[in-house]
Every structure is written in structure tokens, then in C-alpha cells.
Amino acid sequence: MKFKPWQLILLAMLLALVVGGIVNARMVNDAGEMSALGNRLVSIFDYVGNIFMSLLKMVIVPLVLSSVVVGIARLGNTRGFARMGGKTLCYYMLTSLFAILIGLTMVNFFKPGLKDGQPNEAIKAQIEANAEEYTGKVAAKVGSEGADMTAVSEIFLRMIPQNIFEALSDNGKMLSLIFVSLLTGIGLIFISEPSRKSLLGFFEGLNELSLLVTNWVMLLAPIGVFALVAETVAQAGIPIVLILSKYFLVVAGALLIHLLVVMPLILAFLGKVNPLRQFYAMRNALLTAFSTSSSSATLPVTMRAVQENAGVSNRVSSFVLPLGATVNMDGTALYECIAVIFIAQVVGWDLSIAQQISVVVLALLTSIGVAGVPSASLVAIVIIVYNLKIPNAEAVIGLLLAVDRPLDMLRTAVNVFSDSCGAVVIAKSEGEQVLEEVPA
Ligand code: ASP
């Protein structure tokens, strides 16, 4: 029997759940410490997972640069660019707003931070006992990701690089990279024909090459996915997960409603396409997003799936997807909203209606600036609680880190799926035939 690539990835994921589960059950003692053999296995998983992630990340800069430049230059005029840009931004805003509103409703309805109307004592006790450790963890994470921004306006300032090679040399500067690529693409429309032809030829070649390398990297996906998922499962801290189980279920439930109800409705009504076909077309990208927790690392796979399986033109996907991978993060926006309100509930800080509206607006804005890397939401959550002046929030954020990874896997899959649906809906609106037939 011959397995298809996506079936192999799925099998690898299931195997990883079993192997990671065994490591977790057998090699972690009651105090939560892992045995030497367990640690050794985790570091092997980590090593192999990192190789896979690095191979994917390696393709990001050339792929984004070349596809955005080619995509815009092919639009041929700035009017085409403005029309598609307008539609794309409307789609991004609309879907992110839907996502945030689902989160807002769920967190206010289920109140995961309260018990009998009061801040949950078990959660508070856990935080008080470990406040220093949790605060330190947050500071380390936020610092290590270069998040020196405390104001939302910083996000937009950082978009303009002072040197274009800065934008081309740092995967964390996706917005700068897009800014440079947009400018280059628009510039290409206006320069003289001979220069345009040679430069465009270069970028087209680079684009083809980047997609080819992605195909090669994906041959390793089953091994990479196995390592990433096994590492996560092996390290899961069960006792803390239990304290946070209500929070976990509210976030997961809200994400699933967005993924399985809202997005299919958008596909059916706005795009007039069969949502099931879109899920099938995106199978590899969804599995990769889920196991890497990084929309940026998944971008090469998303691009390939949208073009080859969903049949979206290079012209539309090259524009909508790279931009979407960092700007359009429905899952992240939804998560930020739930996390911030949960934190307020736990510390007993009443948020007025006006403040809840601020949470919605800030979640929308910060989700635009968040990088598509694991745990990136954390930075945005810090920014929002800082803006709302919620006291003692850092320690609660530190506690949330304990369940961040599985929720990150899910929200990244939601982020990637929403980008791909954007490409399909916009391609349809541009008169393209999409999702007619999805290759097996
Ligand atoms: N990991 C997410 C992504 O890459 C971002 C986040 O919500 O942390 O899309």
C-alpha cells in the first residue's frame, strides 16, 4: 500500500502523540522532572524539529520577495494593485473581527478565569506560589523575540527598514520585507522596459526556484512533524493543564467555531465554493501549520497548496498569501482577546464595556504586527495588558505559557486557513475558476 504525502504526515503526527505520550508518562516523575533518557529523547526531537523548521524558514525571504514583486508587476498597473489591495485588506479586517467577536462572546459567557463569580482561587494560588518564575519566563520570552515595542504605533514604525538588507536578513521582520517587496513591485511597473524585463525575469526565476526547494523540503515533512509534535507532547505539564482546562476549552472551542463554521460560511457565501474542497486542498498546509506553530514557516507550503491544489493564480496568491501570513491572523486575534479578558478575570480587574472595546481594537491592530512564529501572541498580549494597565498581569501570562503550545498549534492552523480562504475568495472575485478539481 502506498501512502500519499499528507497521509504520511498525519500518521507521523499520530505516532508522535503515542511516542511523546509514553515519554511523558514514563520519564517524568511526580515532581515534574524528566529522567536523563527523557531529556535525551526530547533534545533529539528538538534537534530534528529544528532542522525541518530551519529548512522551511530558509525559503521565506526569497519566496516572499519574489512572489510579491512578481505578483504586483504582473498586475500591470497601479489600479489593479489598488483594487486587489482594497479587497484583501477588507477581507483581512472582516475575518479577524469575526474571530475576535467569537472570542469575546465565549470568554464573557464561560468566564474561565472566575469560579462562582469570583477570581478562581486555584489559579490564583498557582500564580502566587510561582509569581517570580512566571514573570521571569515572560520577560525572557518577550525580550528574546526582540519585542522592544510597548506601543501599538511602534509596530507600524518598524515596518520601514533603514536598510533594505536588514529587511532581507531577518525572518522576524516580515512587515519590512513586505514593504520593500511592495515598493519594488510597484516600481517595476514604472521603470523602462529593458530594465523591467531583466529584473522581472530574475524575480520569476527566484520564485520558481523557491517553490521547487519547498517541494524538496516537504519530502522531510513526516520526520519533521513527528519530531515537533513528539517534543511538545513529551513536555506537556499535565497538572497545570488541569487547572487551566476551562480556559483551554474556551480557546479551543472558539478557534474551532471560527475554523469549522465561520470560514466555511465565508467560503460558501462570499466565494461560492465548496468548503470541503478547500479543507482538502489545504491539507498539507494545515498539518504543517499545526505542527510548526508558525505561519511564516508554513508560508511556502501554503503558497504551493493554494496554487497547485486550489488552482488560484500566481497573480492573486503571490499578493494575498505573503501579506496574509503576517497581517491576517484570525486565530491570534481571537486568542489575544480571550487571554486578556481571562487575565483581567483572574486578577479581579473589572473591564468596562469601553475597555472591552479597546481590547477588540488592540487585538485587531496587534494581530497585524505579530510575527508568524511560535508564541508570538505573547508579545501582543503584553502590549494589550500594558495599554489597559491591568495589574499583576505578567505572572498570569507566565502561567498561560504552560498551555500555550497546543493552543498555538491550533491558532496557527486557523491563521493559515484564513489566509488561504482569502486567496480563494479574492481569486473568485477576480473571475478565476478555483477549486474546480482538487488533485488527490
Ligand atoms: N504562532 C502563530 C503564527 O505563527 C502566532 C501566534 O499566535 O503566536 O501564526
Domain ranges of the chain: 5-429
Q: What is the value of pTM for the model shown?
A: 0.88
Q: In this structure, which residue's CA is closest to atom 1 in ligand 1?
A: 374
CA 293 – ligand 1 centroid, Å: 6
Predicted pLDDT of residue 146: 46
CA 132 – ligand 1 centroid, Å: 26
Angle made by CA atoms 233, 235, 240, in degrees to the nearest 5: 100
CA 408 – ligand 1 centroid, Å: 6
What are residue 56's phi and psi, to 5 degrees? Answer: -70, -45
CA 381 – ligand 1 centroid, Å: 12
Predicted pLDDT of residue 152: 64
Question: Which residues on adjacent β-strands are paired with residue 115?
Answer: 118
333: cell is 486575534
Predicted pLDDT of residue 91: 95
What are residue 114's phi and psi, to 5 degrees? Answer: -115, 155
Predicted pLDDT of residue 327: 87
In terms of Cβ atoms closer than 10 Å to its own Cβ (0-12, 13-18, 19+), residue 355 is middle
What are residue 257's phi and psi, to 5 degrees? Answer: -60, -45
Query: What does the longest C-alpha to C-alpha distance in the chain come to?
Result: 72
In terms of Cβ atoms closer than 10 Å to its own Cβ (0-12, 13-18, 19+), residue 230 is buried
**What CATH class has 5-429?**
mainly alpha
Predicted pLDDT of residue 239: 62
Question: What is the C-alpha to C-alpha distance for residues 21 and 393, in angstroms, rounded to an integer?
Answer: 32
CA 40 – ligand 1 centroid, Å: 28
Residues with a CB atom less than 6 Å from ligand 1: 293-295, 329, 332, 335, 370, 372-377, 408, 411-412, 415
* Averaged pLDDT in 10-residue chunks for the chain of 440 residues: 84 91 80 79 92 90 90 79 89 96 96 91 83 79 56 73 88 83 91 93 93 90 92 75 88 98 96 94 94 91 93 88 90 97 94 91 88 86 89 88 89 97 95 81
Question: What is the C-alpha to C-alpha distance for residues 224 and 107, in angstroms, rounded to an integer?
Answer: 34
Is 300 in contact with 63 (CB distance < 8 Å)?
yes
For a pocket test of ligand 1, which of 296, 375, 403 has the largest count of ligand atoms closer than 8 A to its C-beta?
A: 375
Is 227 in contact with 45 (CB distance < 8 Å)?
yes
* H/E stretch holding 115: strand 114-115
Question: What is the C-alpha to C-alpha distance for residues 293 and 146, in angstroms, rounded to an integer?
Answer: 18
